[in-house]
């Protein structure tokens, strides 16, 4: 009996050892989890996080197509397009060309993980007119033409959405992004409707300006070739470039509709780039003034607490002055944190309650090149004269 009990104890020790090593493993193994990115939905639309440009071993990328789905899931994306080059196949010796294969291989994994996988391809021509992504394609092979006009025409005949990729790419635009006659031709035919203002590690202010003037849909894509972890510093809060699509629901059709209607914003490093009508409601949903009604005594101060519920950072600069109050010239609302905005009465002559708008501009939310999003913070201040 005693022996049996001891055996049990001893087997318990073994289990204990296993438990402890399991615990130990948990610390160093990467958790197979998705980090949800907290970006508010805006009135009537879901904010879908998308990346429409990336490569696999089927062109000049370094990963098997399923890896692109796994990465997208972990990084909190909703939809991706794998867009292997038609014309660039450096691994052809080992992987015979099949333009539709990366999509076919990735599709089951995307279904299992709930990632919307859009079929795409990159038409890869010298400049002009350069590289173009066609997404929502049916068959990539139809786009395999030496003539760029034919290729892009074929893409349009499949009802795809065509994007001019990285117009500011140094290798094809050594003096900065340039709009050639060929682009005018394509533009006038309506053969491309989207344009990358952000690609990989670069944002192109010139192209941003073109998009605004020519009513092109703005896109920001990763164009990633290696595993994303070798390219972006996730440990440090980094993320790949992405396109926020404001879609009626989480579906491929809704994404296409939104792209055609230009309902996008581009998220790059700390920058969020887009039209004011999209950026403003995002900010309004993201931040909450916890104590909008405060009182100040005499020339005293009060603390306004502002909670940023989103994963975006907001770097504000004052966009004017107030007669009644001193306000900080700069303030940052960090993601997931509450910050203090200190106000200070300028004079003892003011008294009573006043509704005030604190005039700011969020300098890392760009409504145009070098132009921050204007935003007013509404508070009510009760000015108490010091005698009271």
Name which position in 40, 227, 328, 374 contacts a copy of itself (CB under 8 A): 227
- Which residues are bridge partners to 7 per DSSP? none
Interacting residues with a copy of itself between 246 and 275 (CB under 8 A):
269-271
Q: Does 74 bind a copy of itself (CB under 8 A)?
A: yes
Neighbours of 164 (CB within 10 A): 27
Q: Segment contacting a copy of itself (CB under 8 A): 81-89, 132-140, 156-164, 332-340?
A: 332-340
Q: How far is the CB of 143 from a copy of itself (least distance, A)?
A: 20
CB atoms within 10 A of CB 17: 10
101 is a site residue for a copy of itself (CB under 8 A): yes
Residues 24-53 that bind a copy of itself (CB under 8 A): 24-36
Report whether 134 contacts 143 (CB < 8 A): yes
Tell me the closest approach of the beta carbon of residue 174 to a copy of itself, in angstroms.
Answer: 15
Q: For the range 226-233, what are the long-range contacts, defined as Cβ-Cβ under 8 Å and sequence gap of 24 or more?
A: 226/61, 226/62, 226/63, 227/62, 227/63, 227/67, 227/71, 228/71, 228/75, 229/71
Choose, by CB under 8 A, the member of 208, 239, 256, 280 that binds a copy of itself.
239
Of positions 92, 277, 293, 337, contacts a copy of itself by CB under 8 A: 337
- From the CB of 137, what's the least distance to a copy of itself, in Å? 20
Contacts (CB under 8 A) with a copy of itself, residues 176-195: none
Which residue, 44 or 96, has its beta carbon nearer to a copy of itself?
Answer: 96
Q: Does 336 bind a copy of itself (CB under 8 A)?
A: yes
Burial of 331 (0-12, 13-18, 19+ CB in 10 A): buried
Instruction: Calculate ∠ Cα 335-340-346, nearest 5°.
Output: 145
Pairing of strands 314-318, 217-221: unpaired
Task: 281-284: list long-range contacts, CB under 8 Å, 24+ apart.
Answer: 281/40, 281/42, 281/43, 282/39, 282/40, 282/42, 282/47, 282/310, 282/312, 283/314, 283/362, 283/365, 283/373, 283/375
- Is the separation of the CB atoms in 222 and 241 below 8 Å? yes
Of 110-118, 158-166, 256-264, 343-351, the segment contacting a copy of itself by CB under 8 A is 110-118
Q: Which stretch binds a copy of itself (CB under 8 A): 3-11, 137-145, 351-359, 375-383?
A: 3-11
- Residue from 126, 229, 295, 351 that binds a copy of itself (CB under 8 A)? 229
Q: Does 9 bind a copy of itself (CB under 8 A)?
A: yes
Nearer to a copy of itself, 56 or 133 (CB): 56
> Per CB under 8 A, which region of 7-15, 115-123, 149-157, 210-218 contacts a copy of itself?
7-15
95 near a copy of itself (CB under 8 A): yes
DSSP string, 250-286: SSHHHHHHHHHTT-EEEEETTEEEE-HHHHHHHHHHH
**Positions in 131-150 near a copy of itself (CB under 8 A):** none
94 binds a copy of itself (CB under 8 A): yes
């Amino acid at each position: 009996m005693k022996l049996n009990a001891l055996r049990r104890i001893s087997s318990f020790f073994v289990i204990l050892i296993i438990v402890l090593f399991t615990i130990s493993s948990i610390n160093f193994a990467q958790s197979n989890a998705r980090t949800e990115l907290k970006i508010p939905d805006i009135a009537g639309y879901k904010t879908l996080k998308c990346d429409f440009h990336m490569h696999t071993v089927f062109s000049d990328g370094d990963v098997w197509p399923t890896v692109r789905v796994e990465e997208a899931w972990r990084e909190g994306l909703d939809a991706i397009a794998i867009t292997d080059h038609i014309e660039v196949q450096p691994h052809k010796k080992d992987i015979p060309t099949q333009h539709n294969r990366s999509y076919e291989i990735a599709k089951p994994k995307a279904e299992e993980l709930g990632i919307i996988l859009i079929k795409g391809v990159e038409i890869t021509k010298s400049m002009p007119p350069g590289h173009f992504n066609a997404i929502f394609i049916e068959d990539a092979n139809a786009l395999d033409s030496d003539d760029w006009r034919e290729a892009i025409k074929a893409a349009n005949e499949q009802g795809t959405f065509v994007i001019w990729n990285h117009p500011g790419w140094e290798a094809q635009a050594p003096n900065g992004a340039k709009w050639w006659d060929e682009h005018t031709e394509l533009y006038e035919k309506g053969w491309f409707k989207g344009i990358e203002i952000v690609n990989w590690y670069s944002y192109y202010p010139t192209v941003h300006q073109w998009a605004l003037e020519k009513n092109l849909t703005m896109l920001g894509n990763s164009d990633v070739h290696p595993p994303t972890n070798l390219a972006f510093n996730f440990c440090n809060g980094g993320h790949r470039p992405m396109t926020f699509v404001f879609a009626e629901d989480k579906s491929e059709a809704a994404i296409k509709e939104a792209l055609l209607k230009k309902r996008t914003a581009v998220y790059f490093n700390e920058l969020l780039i887009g039209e004011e009508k999209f950026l403003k409601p995002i900010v309004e949903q993201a931040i909450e003034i916890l104590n909008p009604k405060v009182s100040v005594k005499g020339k005293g101060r009060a603390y306004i607490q502002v909670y940023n519920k989103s994963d975006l950072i907001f770097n504000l600069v004052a966009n004017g002055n107030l007669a009644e109050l001193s306000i900080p010239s700069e303030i940052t609302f960090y993601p997931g944190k509450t910050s203090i905005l200190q106000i200070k009465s300028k004079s003892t002559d003011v008294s009573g309650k006043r509704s005030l708008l604190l005039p700011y501009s969020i300098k890392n939310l760009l409504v145009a090149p070098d132009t921050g999003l204007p935003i007013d913070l509404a508070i009510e201040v009760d000015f108490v004269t010091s005698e009271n």
